[in-house]
Chain A
């Protein structure tokens, strides 16, 4: 049996790619501040990479009290084993109470590998993290495709670990000049275990936008139906300074790229305004957008489930309403 009192502080895996800190890392540091506040402990960021010195200061400014940095050429690109060795060695040396990872393709590859190596629990895609009366982590996440929420605890093992999707936790405002302590950690690599090599990376840079960062989303579904329909949505988005997103049906049909997909298998978004156009509102879609600030839905079917979460709903044809709305808003904006 472990002694839980030996495990202290809230750690965040400060995910970076090519020397760029990922927004989810800053969001998690913000959440870690709340948790550390409730526990009376510190927020520690674990930064692994190569030539990442310049990323330390922003981690302090977003709320880290301490940054543990391990900087090595082996960590230049993310590879499971190299990163697992680094973070495993940091965790076993420093004994965190809680460790948070972004639920990205990196975090969702690394965290389960570590949970097995550490023989501790891991809860995926948490939407809510709180501290219980007896100072343990309560992790709430959707299950059954977003139909059910479950609150999960890891009471007898440490650290308590969870992943959180990008865009779910709000970032704190940075405090310029805020500093903290830096711990330099040297990973001892076991090369015999390194059996995967990165041969090539192909980036798709075209029109790359992060819909989780958008303040306004103009989102289309089956009712929009085709590329021409989405061109109209794009015009509306331009008037509003918004981004265009889509439901799974439109992504599966190849009309919109996967990085624009909202929902359980796409992205979780919380814009100030979400326009759901021709989206019926399958539970998997609702799970990805129902926390939006204000939801306007337009759908032909007055029984569409999207109207259960919308602030205003219009029963009508999106293909008629969208161009009219774009024109009217253009006039409004010029006033």
Chain B
């Protein structure tokens, strides 16, 4: 079985802070990490490898620095890593990103493609289903568990919904989008870390992949950012440092004033 996992390097958005005076983002010193849902997806692929035997490839689109998360993936146990990097990919929205990744996937052999549900920098959850559509394969999103059916031709997939879970049968080849909360990713192994730096990351540009170039990057992006801004600071209300009795008195009287109670 061949599995390809699409991963993304993202800024750790939980570490981003707003400058309280200027209201702008403080990006300095914010670490870059493997997107958590993608890491969950990678772990799921590695568990399939442990259980059934599989070849696991990771692929990422990004700047040359994204090499780092591919090394991390090597240290976790993947067999092959591909970095899609080219100026022609720059400025891509979700559709253009999905076209680039689908273009790379067309040149690879796979039974399952796994992506994270969403990335913490954009939170769109769009790229996975868009890739599946370009490749004309079925998708299951919000996956928290899966196993291969006895036939070896289909997956039994557990999907999380607002009401609970659904058990679905998906024929392979297919694409799954996975939740970080589904599985706890393994740590990099010590020999794995050493090996990770001896292994070769394959670097692919736009001419390596099977896609119409007009569908890539800024040119291939139907959506454009008109403006980006911080929300502006709300004027904070009063803050009281008083004992519990007095605090309760203040809360109750304010709620009455505002006719909330």
Question: A294 and B260: CB pair below 8 A?
Answer: yes
CA distance in complex: A125, B132 (Å):
21
Chain B residue contacts of A81, Cβ below 8 A: 138
How many of A's residues come within 8 Å of B, CB to CB? 85
Quick one: CB contact mask for A150-190 with B, threshold 8 Å, 1 for yes? 11111111000000000000000000000000000000000
Interface string of A289-300 (1 = CB under 8 A from B): 010001110100
B169 touches A284 (CB 8 A): no
| Distance A223 CA – B20 CA, assembled complex (angstroms) | 24
- Known contacts A195-B138, A312-B238, A328-B248: A240-B261 contact under CB 8 Å: yes
* B239 in contact with A307 (CB, 8 Å): yes
Do A310 and B126 contact each other (CB < 8 Å), given the known contacts A149-B231, A321-B247, A325-B248? no
Q: Which of chain A's residues has its CB closest to B136's CB?
A: A193
Contacts of B108 in A (CB 8 A): none
Using A81-B138, A122-B94, A143-B123 as known contacts, say yes or no to A199 and B156 having CB atoms under 8 A apart: yes
Contacts of B207 in A (CB 8 A): none
Query: Is B170 a contact partner of A312 (Cβ separation < 8 A)?
Result: no
For residue B161, CB closer than 8 A to chain A, the reply is yes
A:34-85 near B, CB below 8 Å:
80-81
Residue of B134, B231, B243 ringed by the most chain A CB atoms within 10 A: B231
B244 close to A317 (CB less than 8 A):
yes
Question: How many residue pairs at the A-B interface have CB separations less than 8 Å?
Answer: 246
Find the A residue at minimum CB distance from B227: A151
If A147-B13, A203-B163 touch, does A109 touch B241 (CB 8 Å cutoff)?
Answer: no
Q: Which secondary structure dominates where chain A touches chain B?
A: mixed
Contacts of A265 in B (CB 8 A): 123
What CA separation (Å) do A202 and B145 show in the bound complex?
14
Contact across chains for A313 and B13 when beta carbons are under 8 A apart: no
Residues from 290 to 335 in A contacting B, C-beta threshold 8 Å: 290, 294-296, 298, 302, 307-317, 320-321, 324-325, 328-329, 332-333
Main secondary structure of the interface of B (DSSP, over half): mixed
* Contact with A147, one of B16, B128, B167, B233 (Cβ below 8 angstroms): B16
A123 at the interface (CB under 8 A from B): yes
State whether A153 touches B226 (Cβ < 8 A).
yes
Tell me the bound Cα distance from A143 to B251 in angstroms.
Answer: 34
Q: Which of B121, B163, B221, B240 has the most CB of A within 10 A?
A: B163
Q: Which chain B residues border A325 with CB–CB below 8 Å? A: 248, 251-252
Known interface pairs A125-B123, A144-B13, A154-B222; A202-B230 also in contact (CB < 8 Å): no
Chain B residue at minimal CB-CB distance from A143: B122
- Residues of B within 8 Å of A329, CB to CB, are 252, 261
B225 and A151: CB pair below 8 A? yes
CB distance from B123 to the nearest CB of A (A): 6
What 0/1 pattern do residues 109 to 140 of B give for CB contact below 8 A with A?
Answer: 00000000000111111111110111011111
The interface-forming segment of A5-13, A113-121, A224-232 is A113-121
Which A-chain residue is minimally distant from B93 (CB atoms)? Answer: A121
A183 to chain B minimum Cβ distance, whole angstroms, is 26
Please report the C-alpha to C-alpha distance between residue A138 and residue B129 in the assembled complex, in whole angstroms: 24
CB contacts (< 8 Å) of B14 on chain A: these are 145, 282, 284
A selection of 10 A-B contacts at a CB cut-off of 8 Å is A115-B94, A121-B95, A143-B123, A147-B25, A148-B230, A199-B156, A202-B164, A290-B234, A317-B244, A320-B244
